[in-house]
Amino acid sequence: MWSSNFIVLVILSLRRIDALFCYQCSMNYTNEECNSKNSTYATECQPAFDTCLTIVLKPAILNQLLITKYCTKRSACERQLNYTQSLVPCQPNNEGRSWGCVTCCGDRDLCNSDQSNALTPNWTTVLLLLLVIQQFGLRRFVSNGDDTCGIFS
């Protein structure tokens, strides 16, 4: 049982062989402008980069969006997301106030074509967690036949 789970885990954790492609632009005013051939291109990410990042900022002093897109590592994208959220909320309908949104994706090429992509979970980590739970019998811990559910026993 353990060896088959290990093999599945190894297969799932392998990095993609083909490089990820992301849109790349810097400080464009519209998403259409950012994705157009005049201002940017679909760029092949370096092998170490597994995530497409999009930053959409709306400073209160401008009546324009500022959009930036590029390849990065998931951990760097998550740090950018947390940093931006610590400075300004992601509230696109908040007229008259500054806001900023960061999205990270890596599930397919050119996934950062618009700003609607949400941060997706790392499925390798989720599967690893499920395998560990299965292997070490968390069911015994969660359900031991009394009302404490095993938490306080």
Q: For the chain, which domains are there?
A: 19-120 (2.10.60.10)
| pLDDT at residue 81 greater than cutoff 90 | yes
Query: Looking at beta carbons, which pairs linking 41-44 to residues 24 or more positions away fall under 8 Å?
Result: 42/109, 42/110, 43/70, 43/71, 44/19, 44/20
Cβ-in-10-Å burial (0-12, 13-18, 19+) of 1 comes to: exposed
| pLDDT at residue 118 greater than cutoff 80 | no
Please state whether beta strands 41-44 and 21-28 pair in parallel, antiparallel, or not at all (unpaired): antiparallel
Work out the average pLDDT over 24-33. 88
71 vs 135, higher pLDDT: 71
Work out the average pLDDT over 35-64. 87
Tokens of 138: 């968390």
Work out the average pLDDT over 36-59. 87
Neighbour tally for 69: CB within 10 Å: 24
Query: What local confidence, expressed as pLDDT, does residue 36 receive?
Result: 78
Name which of 67, 57, 59 is nearest 98 in CA terms: 59
